[in-house]
A = this chain, B = another copy of it.
Amino acid sequence: MHNHRPTDRLEYFSDAVLAIAATLLATELPKPETETGLLQAIVREWPSYAAFVASFLFICIAWSNHHNMFIYIRQTDQYLLILDILFLIFVTLQSFTTGLLARHVGKPDERTAALIYHATLVLMTFFYNTIWWYAINKKTLLEEDTDKRLIRSLTKEYAIAPALHLAALIICLWSVPFSILPILFLYVYFALPRVSEKKINKEANSNEHGQA
């Protein structure tokens, strides 16, 4: 039960923060209080709903990736913990930046709000990557039998999110609507079956055979 430095409670705490951050997003949705024209009032608030769905998906992707990453990390240390905390700070800021963006779409400060939104996502996914970079450089933290080619392909795969969010940030300086393109690309990428996963499956199957 009480192992040396298990990753269990780190995963648990991160999962809980991610789940709460995802669920709290809905509390930021604007509540139309109009006596009549409710449907129009809701339709007019479409940016809020789009931003809610986008952020919900970002947090779920972050959760899914975090979950996959810790299949390979077998223990934590002080610095891995600090990097995870920095990642979680930007996760919890999602509800704030999502609300900010939703309230300013189509208004003078749209660009500022979108830049803050994208910047938070760049930092969230960047710190996510630092957890991985730190773990693979300090070999004692990884599961012993982790394949080197798998590590390399996961490193590339994880780096795509901050790269695309940075692209969205830069495009945003010229055009806010076009900054959605890298985001859509990220969703499509996440929905496609990934090379590293096939490798994981193969490896896991051979492990099972080995143990049987």
Q: Which residues of A contact B (CB under 8 A)?
A: 1-6, 8-9, 11-13, 15-27, 29, 31-39, 42, 53, 56-57, 60, 63-64, 67, 70-72, 74, 78, 81-82, 85, 88-89, 92-93, 95-96, 99-100, 103-104, 107-109, 112-113, 116, 143, 191, 193-194, 197, 200-201, 204-205, 207-208
Contact = CB atoms under 8 A, between A and B. Distances in A.
Contacts of A99: 31
A6 B29 CA distance: 33
Given A82-B191, A88-B60, A96-B26, A67 B9 contact: yes
Dominant SS among interface residues on chain A: helix
Nearest to A20: B23
Contact of A191 (B42, B74, B78): B78
B16 A92 contact: no
Q: How many copies does the complex hold?
A: 4
The 10 A-B residue pairs with the shortest CB-CB distance, nearest first, are A16-B19, A38-B109, A4-B204, A20-B23, A26-B92, A60-B85, A38-B112, A9-B67, A23-B92, A29-B96
Given A1-B6, A23-B24, A82-B191, 7 more contacts: A2-B71, A2-B143, A12-B15, A13-B67, A17-B22, A31-B100, A36-B109
Contacts of A201: 4-5
B26 A27 contact: no
Contacts of A17: 19, 22-23
Contact of A39 (B36, B56, B112): B112
A15 to B, nearest CB: 6
